[in-house]
Amino acid sequence: MSGGEKIKEIFKEMFAKLDEMIKSHYTNFEELRDIYFEFLEYIKKEKAGTSGGFTGLSEYLILKAILLHLEQKLNVEFEKSLQKIKDAHFFVSKDKEILVTHGININEDMESIVKEKFGYGIIWSKDKNTKRLRPDIVIFKLTNNYYKPEAIIQIKVYAVSPNAIINETNKLRKMASGSGKPLCAIIFFCEVGKHREKLEGFSYVVTPKNSVEFEKMLQEIERRLLPTSFISDTNDKPHNFF
């Protein structure tokens, strides 16, 4: 076995164990956050010394949690093989009713790639200023033969400045433009601080002190992905959409 193959085996075993941990805590943001920081501290103290953070790991934890929740609650199964196109990752349910993406670019090229790969186009913003945007996670529902975004999620590992928060809000507004009213959420692994009021435009703001919002966000995503005939808005808590 070559060195590269050995490395692949090591990571395969590591992620299998990590997936088991996520499976036990996928609705609990505090536990997911602890997994991230315990892993980070181990790397910093025992192995690497100066490692600053792993945004890829935080996004992996949230992505896996969402996929697990949808599989459990909606009785769907996502394709096991990861499909990667232009550095974006795609998870499609076997019935093609739900498409979950990580790192998708908002541009015409990606729209045609998705249509060619999965058989359906995307309802997406036509704003020319969105072409360089790359949301962390987008969850689409097949609606009238198009994938319509039902949730757009951004993930932040570090504390950010008020200007960065405003910029993030504006980005999500552009992403949501022309796409109906998707759930727009931002997840912080570090506390936001005194600038929380600048986040009022988001449907959900998940922070260490407000971790209960994570499970609420999962439940709302689940509700939005139900077949239309099952959705009833009578008793829904109103949310602030763009």
Q: What is the CATH number of the domain that holds 133?
A: 3.40.1350
Considering its fold, how many domains does the chain have in total? 1
Confidence of residue 239 (pLDDT cuts 50, 70, 90): very low
Task: Flag whether 89 is in a domain.
Answer: yes
Confidence of residue 225 (pLDDT cuts 50, 70, 90): very high
On whether the CB atoms of residues 100 and 89 are closer than 8 A, the answer is no
- The pLDDT of 22-47, averaged and rounded, is 87
CA gap 26, 186 in Å, rounded? 17
SS3 26: coil
Q: Which range marks the domain in which residue 126 is found?
A: 73-230
Note the pLDDT of residue 163: 77
Note the pLDDT of residue 193: 72
Task: Flag whether 18 is in a domain.
Answer: no
Task: Flag whether 44 is in a domain.
Answer: no
Q: When comparing pLDDT for 234 and 202, which is higher?
A: 202
Task: Flag whether 121 is in a domain.
Answer: yes
- Lookup: tokens for 123: 């309802």
- Average pLDDT over the chain, rounded to whole? 82
Note the pLDDT of residue 83: 60
Task: Flag whether 65 is in a domain.
Answer: no
- Lookup: tokens for 236: 């829904």
Task: Flag whether 28 is in a domain.
Answer: no
How far CA 163 is from CA of 153, 210, 240, in Å, comes to 19, 22, 21
Chain segment 64-110, per-residue pLDDT in tens:
999 999 999 999 999 865 566 777 889 999 999 999 999 888 777 78
Confidence of residue 155 (pLDDT cuts 50, 70, 90): very high
Note the pLDDT of residue 176: 65
Residue 151 DSSP label: E
Note the pLDDT of residue 161: 76
pLDDT at 126 over 70: no
Task: Flag whether 242 is in a domain.
Answer: no
Note the pLDDT of residue 242: 34
Confidence of residue 234 (pLDDT cuts 50, 70, 90): very low
CA gap 152, 179 in Å, rounded? 11
Task: Flag whether 82 is in a domain.
Answer: yes
Chain segment 130-152, per-residue pLDDT in tens:
667 788 999 999 999 999 999 99
φ, ψ for residue 105, nearest 5 deg: -80, 145
CA gap 106, 228 in Å, rounded? 26
